[in-house]
Amino acid sequence: MRLALLALVYSGAVVLMYRRRLNTLIGLPVLALLTGLIAGIPAEGLLKDVITDGALRLHNPIIVILFGAALAEIVKRTGLVEVLIRNTAEFLGDRTTLIATFLMLIIAVLFTVLSGLGAIVMVGSVVFPILISLGISKLLAGCIFLFGLSLGGMLNLFNWSLYSDVLKLSQSEIFHYVLRFFPLALLVSVAFLFIEIRREGGSSFKLALPTDDPRPKLPFLVFLTPLVPVALLFGSKLIYGYDFPIIAAMFAGIVWGTLFAPRAAGSKAQLLTRSMVDGVSSVAPAIVLMVGIGMLLKAVAHPQVSALLLPTLQGVMPTSALGYVGFFTLLAPLALYRGPLNIWGMGSGLVALMKDTGSLPAAAIMAALLSVGQIQGISDPTNTYNVWIANYLGVDVVKILRKTLLYAWLMALLGLGLAAALYY
């Protein structure tokens, strides 16, 4: 009876989020409380274990997000983003597909460091006019941006922190999979771009950028700012076998960007202070979301809830390579609308339980959620950035879902096949 009621509550939450009647920031804490109440967690347990301890559960990833946000603000304030995008477009001349491909790659590089809706608005406001000037439709321009955003997010270090914290995986274990999955995701993204531009009848258009473009002249060393954290993390592992701490790597990037920022960005102290303050503001929704995720994690991990859910989950979890690929490929759309395969939604509460079943190694769970997460990252109409992109371009957000879903699903399938080969 309790299990059926819990399933009804979760299904209802999906429907409400789908119909935009329930915001995820509110929905996850509510789900955590309802989960505890249905499972019979006593009031003291709800207050301490679920609410209090849950709010602090993801303190490590939250701090990573804060440092990442400060680094992103420094990158934005130096003018690096606009210079990179516009110089790339001008250098490539009038070749539509080539410019679109390079812009997608530039977006991916930028969002290995950038995050938050503010950064997306800034980059999109530069990129979209360029893509549209090439004769690309507004709908396709939005989709190209989303594929680049997803590629960058795959390598964005603070996106790893949740997997690392919940599944107790090291950075090198996550890197081992992501390094191999990224080329497959890139292949699908480029295939999408080529196929859809050709389908639209795309041809070469002369790119016309404004002649009075006030781009700042930047010191060469400032262009290395987004690469500093990546170089420290991956270089130290590859050369010395040492897992460089993520927060320390981002701190180094912040120091580097501040030291070599152009004078137009203001004094060093002012740049650093404003970047930290504005960075916190830009990721506030993500922090609130992670507080709710922490509550849901603690609720689902509670012995009374685990006892309720674990037997059912053990009965359906795959145990073979073929079953693994088939199971998660078939259910991949459940990553949409903050569903049970979305680690930034209801899936956050099931991750630890998946590990507790003993059916899958932790790395395979990470790979599965990261693979199907591409559907959420690219196609999900509940993403605030999907909504902004649709509004900015004047297209229906559901049309973005329809345009991208099959490609994102293929990306998930390839990622799952890779994971099956690596972990079985």
User: What would the mean pLDDT of 138-148 be, rounded to a whole number?
Assistant: 95
Cα atoms found within 13 Å of the Cα of residue 69, Cβ hemisphere only: 23
Structure tokens at 410: 């293929």
The one-letter amino acid code at 197 reads: I
**Model confidence over 319-335: pLDDT tens digits?**
899 999 999 999 998 88
Give me the mean pLDDT over the 148-153 stretch.
94
Tell me the C-alpha to C-alpha distance, in Å, between residue 346 and each of 64, 229, 296, 340, 388: 22, 31, 8, 5, 23
pLDDT of residue 93: 60
The per-type count for the chain, helices as H runs and strands as E runs, is 21, 0
Residue 204 has pLDDT above 50, yes or no: no
185 confidence band (pLDDT: 50, 70, 90): very high
CA–CA gap between residue 414 and residue 369 (Å, rounded): 13
Count CB-CB contacts under 10 A for residue 404: 26
pLDDT bracket for residue 118 (50, 70, 90): low
Would you state the pLDDT for residue 322? Answer: 94
In 3D space, the residue among 76, 165, 91, 157 whose CA is nearest the CA of residue 123 turns out to be 76
Question: pLDDT-derived band of residue 89, with 50, 70 and 90 as boundaries?
Answer: low
Asked whether the predicted pLDDT for residue 206 surpasses 50, the reply is no
pLDDT (0 to 100) of residue 365: 93
DSSP reduced 3-state for 153: helix
Asked whether the beta carbons of 255 and 222 are under 8 A apart, the reply is no
Identify whether the C-beta of residue 177 lies closer than 8 Å to the C-beta of residue 219.
no
Q: Do 72 and 96 form a contact (C-beta atoms < 8 A)?
A: no
Cα–Cα distances (Å) from 181 to 155, 164, 235, 243, 311, in that order, read: 10, 17, 19, 20, 32
Section 384-396 average pLDDT: 83
The most distant pair of C-alpha atoms in the chain lies apart, rounded to whole Å, by: 69
Q: To the nearest whole number, what is the mean pLDDT of the chain?
A: 83
Per-residue tokens: 174: 């996550």
pLDDT at 270: 86
Question: Which of 351, 339, 350, 348 lies closest to 382 in space, CA to CA?
Answer: 339
Q: Residue 68: which of 104, 25, 118, 28 has the closest Cα?
A: 118
Residue 205 confidence class, pLDDT cut points 50, 70, 90: very low
User: pLDDT: is 198 or 392 the higher one?
Assistant: 198
* pLDDT single digits (tens) 23-56: 777 877 888 888 888 888 888 888 898 899 989 8
